[in-house]
Chains A and B, each alone.
Chain A
């Protein structure tokens, strides 16, 4: 596609439920990043994929968070046993290569845990 696409744009879920957030990167981009943005803050790094592998997952806050990119294109961020503190905007970005600095962001998924 022309840009990074994230679905859904909004997700409301009950505490304790499981959610999946999807990211479609720009076609041909090998690097994919997930960030979390809380209100009034800058995006905070979660995980970075180079191709199919997670090159750096040091930003995942705990083991309830997991992400996959099985074919090196679409990625899914999975959150188990959601907590109210997980409420935030989850942003995905992609870039041509891992060292290419022009990372392009999607519009984000706003997750609200009630």
Chain B
């Protein structure tokens, strides 16, 4: 299946700092999605990217869909304590017929020290 390599695995930062994480793959994806997961909760969609080269912002979050369609990054600016959580990238690809499958990276655990 399609594999996503997400890095870093974890990050420890001070409140106010900017953060960057990324996902790469040897496969091409139609769409990149970024999710945040808090303990005991399901992943919550942060940003969706649909076209190669697309740069999209959502408040302090910015994400880009790589030109090659094989990578994406997520930036968080001016981090705050509630940014703590696990961030997942996910890529959507055709899996046969008109069906699509969503595959996830292993996540980046973000810790923000106040």
Give the B-binding residues of A (Cβ under 8 A).
4, 6, 33, 35, 40-45, 48, 50, 55-56, 58, 91, 93, 98-99, 101-108
Contact = CB atoms under 8 A, between A and B. Distances in A.
Interface string B32-43: 010100001111
Interface residues of B, number: 30
Contact of A101 (B50, B99, B105): B50
Interface stretch (B14-22, B54-62, B67-75, B89-97): B89-97
A102 B106 CA distance: 19
Contacts of B44: 105
B92 to A, nearest CB: 5
Given A42-B107, A43-B104, A45-B103, A107 B41 contact: yes
A91 B43 CA distance: 9
B1 to A, nearest CB: 8
